[in-house]
Amino acid sequence: MKPAPTTAGGKPRLTTSAMIASIAAEGQATKPAPFGHALVAAAKQDDTIVGMTADLGKYTDLHVFRDAFPDRCYQFGMAEQLMLGAASGLAKEGFTPFATTYAVFATRRAYDFIHQTIAEEDRNVKIVGALPGLTSGYGPSHQAAEDLALMRAMPNMTVIDPCDAHETEQVVPAIAAHKGPVYMRLLRGQVPLVLAEYGYRFELGKAKTIRDGRDVLIISSGLMTMRSLEAAALLAADKVDVSVLHVPTIKPLDTATILAEAGKGGRLVVVAENHTVIGGLGEAVGALLMREGVQARFRHIGLPDEFLLAGALPTLHDHYGISAEKVASRIKAWM
């Protein structure tokens, strides 16, 4: 049990505020519902695309698609196992279902349905999971700290962890065109716009250097690429030159690019992920470097192997060391 809170100290206590907290910083450029709008655009080109929801249409941005194509959107109520089994059936009949819910319910509650009806049968289903990693302060019920580990462990599954609105818009048509099961982490609502200014283009299976630097190589995915870029700017003020290699495709991993970057030598290699330190990008990269004999000083920023606290998201990101400030200070301490 947690100790009772104290009221001492000058800082105002933040509130959890909502199940879905915004990950956008105040004043940050954002785009609304990039997934929903991108799915509408893709569906205009590809009439096999259908949408599926388990009573979370509004909270996964699927409502944008539902409003545009009401007869191509299926409601399954809070029945995730049914939704994912039915997604397999629709795919078997030649459709391309985008099955959406929270990441916790897709990957944890319906795991066997994904495993048996989608992955084992290699069905063309796109599973889209909102609130990935630590993007809710609601508590472990809604914090998908282990979704990547679960999905990575499944044969046939492609796993994508997009960084921002710009990338999400590009991932949607890419995975619609890809034949086979895909798990995509979903950032929804007002989603930060970060990568456009770097001229970034998403390619399935490709890791890309967003910024180059001499002292530190951060290998990151999803939200943590955004945080890593912010941390790199903070560290630049301290004359620490940071490279950020963004790895949106967690599986299959772009081993060639990761090996080439980590093998350059002389740089501290830090993997940063919005995920438990077990079974995600960090362990994948660590194992890869070991297997291929690449020597590097290696550090890992991720969520601890414990049930995460409830609270306000900025507080929790600070607490677990995944805020930009904490990433910067931890790297500085490792230098």
Partner 1 sequence: MTTDAAPRSNAPSLAERAWRIRRNAVRMGEVQGQGYIAQALDIADVLAVAYFHAMTYRPDDPEWEGRDRFLLSNGHYAIALYAALIEAGIIPEAELETYGSDDSRLPMSGMASYTPGMEMSGGSLGIGLSIAVGMGLGLKRKGSKNFVYTLFSDGELDEGSKWEAIMGAAHHKLDNLIAVVDINQQQADGPSGQVMGFEPLVDKMNAFGWFTQRVDGNDLDAVKAAFDAARNHPEPKPRMIIADTKMGKGVPFLEARERNHFMRVDAHEWQLALDALDAGRPA
Chosen residue from 14, 68, 79, 309 binding partner 1 by CB under 8 A:
79
**How far is it, in rounded angstroms, from Cα 286 to Cα 192?**
29
> Does 301 participate in binding partner 1 (rule CB under 8 A)?
no
Token reading at 236: 């630049």
**CA distances from residue 206 to 16, 246, 326 in whole angstroms, order as listed:** 36, 9, 27
Spot the catalytic one: 26, 80, 261, 306: 80
> Is 91 one of the binding residues for partner 1 (CB under 8 A)?
yes
Nearer to partner 1, 26 or 93 (CB): 93
Question: Applying CB under 8 A, which part among 75-83, 127-135, 250-258, 259-267 lies near partner 1?
Answer: 75-83
Q: Is 44 exposed, middle or buried (0-12, 13-18, 19+ CB in 10 A)?
A: exposed
Stretch that binds partner 1, among 29-37, 77-85, 142-150, 286-294 (CB under 8 A): 77-85
80 is catalytic: yes
For partner 1, give the closer residue by CB, 118 or 149. 118
Give the tokens for residue 138.
């609601």
100 to each of 92, 115, 252, 307, how far by Cα in Å? 18, 16, 22, 24
- Residue 59, classed as helix, strand or coil, is coil
Selected range binding partner 1 among 35-43, 111-119, 138-146, 261-269, rule: CB under 8 A: 111-119
Per rule CB under 8 A, is residue 291 in the interface with partner 1?
Answer: no
Among 17, 44, 46, 77, binds partner 1 (CB under 8 A): 77
Q: Contact between 90 and partner 1 (CB under 8 A)?
A: yes
Question: Does residue 243 contact residue 209 with C-beta atoms inside 8 Å?
Answer: yes
Least separation in angstroms between CB 83 and partner 1: 8
Of 160-189, binders to partner 1 (CB under 8 A) are: none
Name which of 162, 134, 149 is nearest 323 in CA terms: 134
Beta strand pairing status for 208-211 and 216-220? unpaired
Site residues for partner 1 per CB under 8 A: 50, 74, 76-77, 79, 81-82, 84-95, 97, 112-113, 115-117, 120-122
Would you name the residues annotated as active-site residues?
Answer: 80
